[in-house]
Structure formats: structure tokens, C-alpha cells
Amino acid sequence: MSKKRKKQDDRQDALNPAPAKSRKLFYLIIALVISIAINAAFAYRYYALSSSMDSLYTQLSDLAVRLEDCTANQSSMQEDAERNRMLLDSKLMAAQMPFAGEFPTNELDILRKRGLRNPIEDIQNDLFRHKELIPFKAPTGREQKFSSVDAIHLLSRHFVFARFTDGRRTGHMVLEFKVNEGRITWEVLGAYQD
């Protein structure tokens, strides 16, 4: 606005104060309407972003649950694979073990000289009575024990392979034994529970 025009407006306002108040009120209303429109636009944008964020948080939590499930499944599959590998190894080992009729006579003679009458039976029966050698705890109400006398196999005049169970889970172990004057002492070399 030019200076001349402004002076004329100021003079008119001085002569007639009503139009100046109306103009100020008009500008105030325009400013208020613009402010409300801007606030409404921001509120709408905030609500839209808030809805998008809620949706993204829901999707993110669903993905986190799916990731946990996948991780648990992978761990379970790895445990199953390891358990199956160990079971297969133990079955292969058991299939290759010598049995009473195949056990070398010279080794049986050495054990007899150390005080055992029937070396294979004596060793099996002695180990069968020593369930405290099983290094795993059974669940409450159950008891770890060797599966049977027949589940104890002589590998040599020094080593035994044995299967054990708590009635639900099974396991395998390798033990070293020593015979002195008919007395057998045991040492656990390794054990695995399925």
C-alpha cells in the first residue's frame, strides 16, 4: 500500500471508528479460520500417521512372533537331528559289538585269571547292580537303571557299552572296568541320553 493511501485510511478511521473495528474483526476471523484449517490439516495428518504406525507395530510384533517360532523350530530340528545321529551311531556300534559266543577266548582267559568265573556274565551282572554310575538324573517318580543285563556288551577286556533308561528316556554309555582278585571297579568314559 502506498503512503498516501494509508494516510487516507487512517483519516477515515479517525473520522469513522466503526469500519476500522469491522476490518480488524474481519482480519481476526480470517486468521482464526486459517488457524483452524491448519490445525485440522495437522490433526488429520497426525491421525493418519498414527493409524499407519499402529498398523506397522502390529505387523512388526507378528513378524517377531513368527521369527521366534522359526528359531524354536530350527533349534528343535537341530536337537532332533543330533539325537537321531547319536541313536544311529549307538545302533551301529551295538551292531558291530562282539557277543558272548564271539568274544575272544584269550581275553576271557585273562579275566578268569583275575578272579572271574564267568567273565561276561559276572561283568554284566556287576554293572547291572551299579545304577549309581548312570550320570543322568531321572524325573521325579522315575529311576535310572540299566535296560537289562543283555543291554550290557563287552567290547574288550577293558571296556563295556551299556544302555540305560528311566522308563521313558533312554541313553547309552561306555565304561572302563578293571578286575582285581574277582573285584570289578568302574569308570564312566562317556554317556549320552536321548
- Angle, to 10 degrees, between the axis of helix 119-129 and the axis of helix 105-113? 60
For 73-105, b where at least 16 C-beta lie within 10 A, e where not — what string?
eeeeeeeeeeeeeeeeebeeeeeeeeeeeebee
Identify the H or E element spanning 193.
strand 183-193
C-alpha distances in Å from residue 150, one per residue of 97, 110, 160, 164, 191: 12, 22, 12, 11, 18
Q: Are 157 and 111 in contact (CB under 8 A)?
A: yes
Tens digits of per-residue pLDDT, 118-151?
A: 999 999 999 999 999 999 888 877 888 898 888 8
CA 194 – CA 25 distance, rounded (Å): 88
C-alpha distances in Å from residue 74, one per residue of 63, 65, 68, 84, 192: 16, 14, 10, 15, 22
Matching residue, cell 490439516: 41
Tens digits of per-residue pLDDT, 10-51?
A: 665 555 555 667 778 888 888 888 888 888 888 888 888 788
Identify the H or E element spanning 170.
strand 170-180
**What is the reported pLDDT for 124?**
93
> What average pLDDT does this structure show over 54-65?
84
**What is the reported pLDDT for 94?**
56
Question: Concatenated DSSP letters for 8-57?
Answer: HHHHHHHH-HHHHHHHHHHHHHHHHHHHHHHHHHHHHHHHHHHHHHHHHH
Please report which confidence band the pLDDT of residue 100 belongs to, taking 50, 70 and 90 as the band edges.
very low
The answer to which of 95-104, 135-144, 154-163, 185-194 has the lowest mean pLDDT is 95-104
